[in-house]
Amino acid sequence: MFNRIRSIAALLATFALALPAAAQTWPERSIRLIVPFPAGGPTDIVARVLSQAMSETLGQSIVIDNRGGAGGVNGTDMVAKAAPDGYTIALTSAGALAIAPALQKVPYVWARDLKPIILVVKAPEMMVAPASLGIHNVPEFIAAAKAKPGAFNFGSSGAGSMSHLSSEMFKAAAGIERTHVPDPGAAPALHDLLPDRIQLVFLDIQVLRPHVQSGALVALGMGGAERVPLLPDVPTVAEQGLPGFEAANWYGLVAPAATPAPIIARLNAAAQKALSGGPAREALTNLGATIMGGDPESFAAYIAAETGKWTGVVKQSGAKLE
């Protein structure tokens, strides 16, 4: 019995010593980057920009694998259950990590099953109204909504989406009434907004920017904590009388929880380099994204804070998936 215990202990010690050596030679083959959303969407675009720059640093190709479904939950779960060897990672989002667990039972617990690598970018939601409404900023909108309680319809890209919960948070902060009109995506929401069937929507900048530039929509405010360099003249919602308001999607890299720390460090360093300058940083900034970065620990703390915030919004609003 003693010899068996000693053999197991020796085997475990050998395995522990092998981990740093394996991490030193990693990566020896291509890396699979799971994007838990369909190709062509915001997460996919960020992933393709980032992966190209990171592959140059790591010396191996990074292959995008789009695995959409359940608002990012399906693809994120694939990474949670993958081998923790650094060859399967994901670029996931606020929806899959901070919002979905508040709305439905998900098959993973991010703090237990995933290892945060780096917060890549934030993508603030932009608050817009039809130009025909004749409203130009957040205080004017609040005043108009209070003058006609319940008369304004707020659109969204779907029940339980970032778009929906941003409007719920705005409703609570502004103390106004409104009717929620969910649509199955950003494009249908715009279809309702442009002819004035709905009076307000929060959506990603890249979706709304062409319509703002054409004059069809008015950008009332940015949902992020700071103004966006791409549209510097659009003030944040927070600086227009609702301090602390922040509604922003975000995208970050995660790996299976047991991935060795040296591999996480190399992935973090490669992403940091990509975000620090050059074509990747320029491309992401041109999307209206706010470049983030930082270490794995700060990303973990950010996910925890965002989870608490959006869980509170879901509970307060009673938002449900349809």
How far is the C-alpha of 116 from the C-alpha of 90, rounded, in Å? 10
176 and 136 in a common domain: yes
183 and 40 in a common domain: no
The pLDDT tens digits for 18-48 are: 445 556 789 999 999 999 988 888 889 999 9
Unique residue bearing structure tokens 């405010």: 221
How far is the C-alpha of 221 from the C-alpha of 242, rounded, in Å? 11
pLDDT given at position 150: 83
User: Domain containing 164 — which CATH number?
Assistant: 3.40.190.10
SS3 250: strand
CB atoms within 10 A of CB 99: 27
The neighbouring-strand residues paired with 118 are 253
Strands 179-182, 153-156: pairing kind: parallel
Provide the domain count of the chain.
Answer: 2
For the purposes of burial, counting CB atoms within 10 Å of the CB of 50, is it exposed (0-12), middle (13-18) or buried (19 or more)? buried
How far is the C-alpha of 265 from the C-alpha of 117, rounded, in Å? 8
141 and 232 in a common domain: yes
The boundaries of the domain holding residue 106 are 31-122+249-317
Write down the pTM of the prediction.
Answer: 0.86
Q: How many residues does the chain have?
A: 322
130 and 213 in a common domain: yes
Which amino acid, residue 56?
Answer: E
87 and 41 in a common domain: yes
pLDDT given at position 194: 76
User: Domain containing 262 — which CATH number?
Assistant: 3.40.190.150
Which amino acid, residue 240?
Answer: Q
How far is the C-alpha of 170 from the C-alpha of 40, rounded, in Å? 29
Question: If we measure between CA atoms, which residue out of 77, 53, 116 comes closest to residue 257?
Answer: 116
203 and 105 in a common domain: no
Which amino acid, residue 86?
Answer: G
SS3 36: coil
Ranges of the chain whose pLDDT falls below 50: 1-19
192 and 216 in a common domain: yes
153 and 224 in a common domain: yes
Residue after which a domain boundary falls, among 240, 261, 282: 240
Confirm whether 19 is domain-assigned.
no
Confirm whether 307 is domain-assigned.
yes
Q: Which residues of 235-272 are buried (b: 16+ CB within 10 A; e: fewer)?
A: bbbbebebeebbbbbbbbbbbbbebbebbbebbbebbe
Confirm whether 15 is domain-assigned.
no
296 and 195 in a common domain: no
SS3 310: helix
94 and 62 in a common domain: yes
118 and 129 in a common domain: no
Confirm whether 322 is domain-assigned.
no
pLDDT given at position 21: 56
Residue after which a domain boundary falls, among 223, 240, 257: 240
**Backbone CA torsion sign across 196, 201, 203, 209:** positive
How far is the C-alpha of 155 from the C-alpha of 195, rounded, in Å? 13
- Beta-strand ranges (E) seen in the chain are 31-35, 62-66, 88-93, 114-130, 153-156, 179-182, 201-204, 217-222, 248-256, 290-291
Residue after which a domain boundary falls, among 188, 212, 240: 240
Structure tokens at 95: 């929806």
How far is the C-alpha of 203 from the C-alpha of 247, rounded, in Å? 10
79 and 49 in a common domain: yes
Please say whether the beta carbons of 317 and 172 come within 8 A. yes
pLDDT given at position 40: 84
Confirm whether 313 is domain-assigned.
yes
Confirm whether 16 is domain-assigned.
no
Confirm whether 26 is domain-assigned.
no
Confirm whether 173 is domain-assigned.
yes
